[in-house]
Amino acid sequence: MGGRTPLLVLTFSLAVLSIKLGISHGCRETERKALIDFKRGLHDPSNRLSSWVGEDCCAWEGVGCSNISGHVIKLDLRNSRRMDPCAGFMGRVPAQLGNLSTLQHLDLSYNCYWDDNSGWISLLTSLRHLNMTWVSFTNAANWLQDLNALPHVQEIELISCDLGTFPRSLSHVNFTSLTTLDLRGNYINSTIPDWVFNITSLEFLYLGGNDLHGFFPDSVTKLTSLKYLDLSYNSLHGSLPASLGNLSMLRSLDLGSNNLNGMFPESIKRLKGLRDLDLYNNSLSLSEDDLANLSSLKSLDISYNSIYLNKSDDWIPPFQLNGLYMGFCQILPKPHFPKWLRTQPTLDELYLSNAGIKEAFPNWLPSGLRYLYLSDNKITGNKLVGGVPDSLCNLQMLESLHLSHNNLSGQIPHCLKSCTELATLDLGHNNFIGNIPTWIGESLLYLKTLSLRSNAFTGSIPQLSSLPSLRILDLSNNNLSGTIPQSFGDFNALKSAPTYQCCYFNNDSLYVEDMWLFIKGSELEYTTRQLSMDTLIDLSNNYLSGNIPEELGNLHGLRSLNLSKNYLIGQIPWSIGRMKQLEVLDLSRNNLSGAIPSDLAALNFLNHLNLSYNNLSGRIPNGNQLQTFTDSSIYAGNPNLCGPPLTKNCTLNIAKAGEEEQNEDSSKSRMETLWLYTSITLGFIIGFWAICGSLLLQQTWRTSYFRAIDNMFDKLYVMMVVTVAKYKRKL
């Protein structure tokens, strides 16, 4: 639901709904009218409240009533079409919500609210569950004291609320029933205060994605009921305390992306119930022995650390992993595939990118793998099927395959056609050859990202527009030829702009995949979260020719288009001006001609433009976004362009061009006259001497010629005499 909610109507309506329960049957009329008033104050373009008609409000969608009293006790306006509970409300959170003294569950998450006075929260003394994720608390200085006034609250979720500060002291901890505290993504800049570790009832503590610093808190071991601990993406340093092993109830430990160092504590072995261990991006050292007793482990992330793999090939770990992440990991004594991985048939996700592995591909990959990341190594083929091991072809459940920056060669094997669940296929920066297979566009119908950049592919671009979900297409730096298919304008996922539901985007960082894309003139690393919002077509540095298809203008959701370093001709299509989301446009180093379309001035999001080294002419359009491009190098190599930011003046250029055109026309007219008289003279001379010369030089020709003249004269004379005689007789 978009638009601004009349807050007084909302508050009044909820107040009526909180009337003390009594014995009744059916929907209360006062409550039905309150809901109708509430509906009138909303903008509902999708007609989600269409069921709010009739007398029985308890049957309306999103309304829950007590089976005993008939009172409305629940109002759920979450968007069932989205995974998050976003209803689309905007504005300040009304303080009158504090009047709902019997309210037990309040969820305002994923709306564009702000709250600069959180005092009303302290009045909700019956509250059990509070979720205000994405509600901005920027100016709410007393948020902690207000929350501490809730004696019965069990769950508090304030993700990405711009809290900013973490009060150092709390005179009395009133959270005697609190089991969940989630403050992720608030960029809190402080140490972790001791009062947090006095909430002994805590089972779930999420403080990731902040700017917490200081030594790893040894006091965390006081939380003996803790099951999930997330301190990731902070600036904690020092070594892990030995007492960490006392958290016997711990099921998930996430310490990723901090500055922790030292050896892995021996006490961790006691956490036999631990299922998820994330030590991503630290400077810790651990060995297989440190993992020996973690029999319940399902997910292990030790990327960006050092691990000693000294066990013999027959070592069988006590766990069965679903996910293993060892990317950017220093594997000692030498980089290699851990042999014990072949004992992990349940492995669902394997991340070994940038681990320095120089071995051949393993032939024991579990058939249930869905995510495989082996980029940035020096892996070669083993039992090659076109440069890729045949074991890959058995992974028919694969959804994401990353093999870029290796030493793979040959053709893409046809058997990958059976991996019909693939959403991401990244084979960039290898030595693949041959044509791009047509079956990619015919069989991989769930593909969202296709990167084949920096290989040696040849031939034309195959039909890919049948891929309904494709958002990123990178075929740059190959030897492709032919024209750009007109069907590129049919990519359904690129035809509409992405919609954003709210106005706050603080990241609660999680483990994400990454890819390298060439954007804005340089190669950039993109994470999963960024890729989900980016749309890109890159066909640069090939041998493509012909015109740029007008149909590309249908891709209203495209954010980056790079066709540079090809042999494209013709004019820049005016339809590009319809690509309203375009941020990057690079058409440099082609053979494009004509004027720059003025429609480009309508691209309000454009922040990178390069049209250099073409044959463009005329005045550079101005207005709107184009005025912000002051770097003249983006138009270099087009000698017939004029106007800012170039120093070439268009007025003088036009006058000079007109004078040159007039002089050229005058010169052309004189040349035509000269050629006319010259051809007449040459024709007369050639004709005269061809006839007269022949008569003078050949006597027989001369006799025959004059005899023919005499005969002709005689015939004409006879005809004239006869004709005159006829007229005389008539007269």
Helix axes 699-730, 650-697, angle to 10 degrees: 90
* Mean pLDDT, rounded, of the chain: 83
Examine the pLDDT at 77 and tell me if it is beyond 90.
no
Examine the pLDDT at 605 and tell me if it is beyond 70.
yes
Q: What is the rounded CA–CA span in Å between residue 278 and residue 255?
A: 6
| Model confidence pLDDT, tens digit, residues 249-298 | 999 999 999 999 999 888 888 999 999 999 999 999 888 888 888 999 99
Contact criterion met (CB below 8 Å) for 160 and 135: no
The pLDDT value given to residue 4: 41
SS3 13: helix
Query: Higher confidence at residue 609 or residue 529?
Result: 609
Mean pLDDT throughout 128-148?
Answer: 89
Instruction: List Cα–Cα distances, 697 to 526, 691, 701, in angstroms.
Output: 92, 10, 9
Tokens of 225: 């009921």
Q: What is the rounded CA–CA span in Å between residue 32 and residue 523?
A: 59
Torsion of CA 90, 91, 95, 100, to 10 degrees: -10
Examine the pLDDT at 478 and tell me if it is beyond 50.
yes
Q: pLDDT-derived band of residue 508, with 50, 70 and 90 as boundaries?
A: very low
Q: pLDDT-derived band of residue 544, with 50, 70 and 90 as boundaries?
A: very high
The pLDDT value given to residue 526: 45
The pLDDT value given to residue 653: 53
The pLDDT value given to residue 664: 53
The pLDDT value given to residue 12: 42
Nearest to 126 by CA among 32, 53, 21: 21
Query: Higher confidence at residue 171 or residue 298?
Result: 298
Examine the pLDDT at 348 and tell me if it is beyond 50.
yes
Q: What is the rounded CA–CA span in Å between residue 361 and residue 337?
A: 9
pTM, two decimals, is 0.74
Examine the pLDDT at 589 and tell me if it is beyond 60.
yes
Mean pLDDT throughout 53-62?
Answer: 88
**Weakest-pLDDT range from 522-526, 615-619, 696-700, 724-728:** 522-526
Contact criterion met (CB below 8 Å) for 524 and 516: yes
Mean pLDDT throughout 451-462?
Answer: 96
The pLDDT value given to residue 512: 41
Contact criterion met (CB below 8 Å) for 564 and 538: no
Question: Count of residues for the chain?
Answer: 731
**Weakest-pLDDT range from 177-181, 340-344, 384-388:** 384-388
| Model confidence pLDDT, tens digit, residues 677-697 | 788 888 777 777 777 776 677
Amino acid at 81: R
Residue 363 CA, distance from chain mean position: 33
Examine the pLDDT at 529 and tell me if it is beyond 90.
no
Share of the chain above pLDDT 90, in %: 44
Contact criterion met (CB below 8 Å) for 407 and 432: no
Mean pLDDT throughout 201-214?
Answer: 95
Q: Which phi-psi region, left, alpha or beta, contains residue 546 (left: φ > 0; alpha: ψ -120 to 50)? A: left
CA dihedral over 530, 535, 540, 543, signed as positive or negative: positive
Mean pLDDT throughout 74-92?
Answer: 65
Examine the pLDDT at 163 and tell me if it is beyond 60.
yes
Tokens of 437: 């297979």
Half-sphere exposure of 680 (CA within 13 A, CB side): 5
The pLDDT value given to residue 322: 93
Helix axes 7-17, 29-40, angle to 10 degrees: 160
Nearest to 116 by CA among 150, 86, 149, 143: 143
Instruction: List Cα–Cα distances, 460 to 470, 573, 592, in angstroms.
Output: 19, 22, 20
Contact criterion met (CB below 8 Å) for 194 and 172: no
Q: What is the rounded CA–CA span in Å between residue 561 and residue 552?
A: 10
Mean pLDDT throughout 364-371?
Answer: 88
Q: pLDDT-derived band of residue 503, with 50, 70 and 90 as boundaries?
A: very low
Q: pLDDT-derived band of residue 16, with 50, 70 and 90 as boundaries?
A: very low
DSSP per-residue letters across 47-109 = -TTTT--SS-GGGSTTEEE-TTT--EEEE----TTSSS-----EEEPPGGGGG-TT--EEE-T
Q: pLDDT-derived band of residue 37, with 50, 70 and 90 as boundaries?
A: confident
Q: pLDDT-derived band of residue 387, with 50, 70 and 90 as boundaries?
A: low
Q: pLDDT-derived band of residue 498, with 50, 70 and 90 as boundaries?
A: low
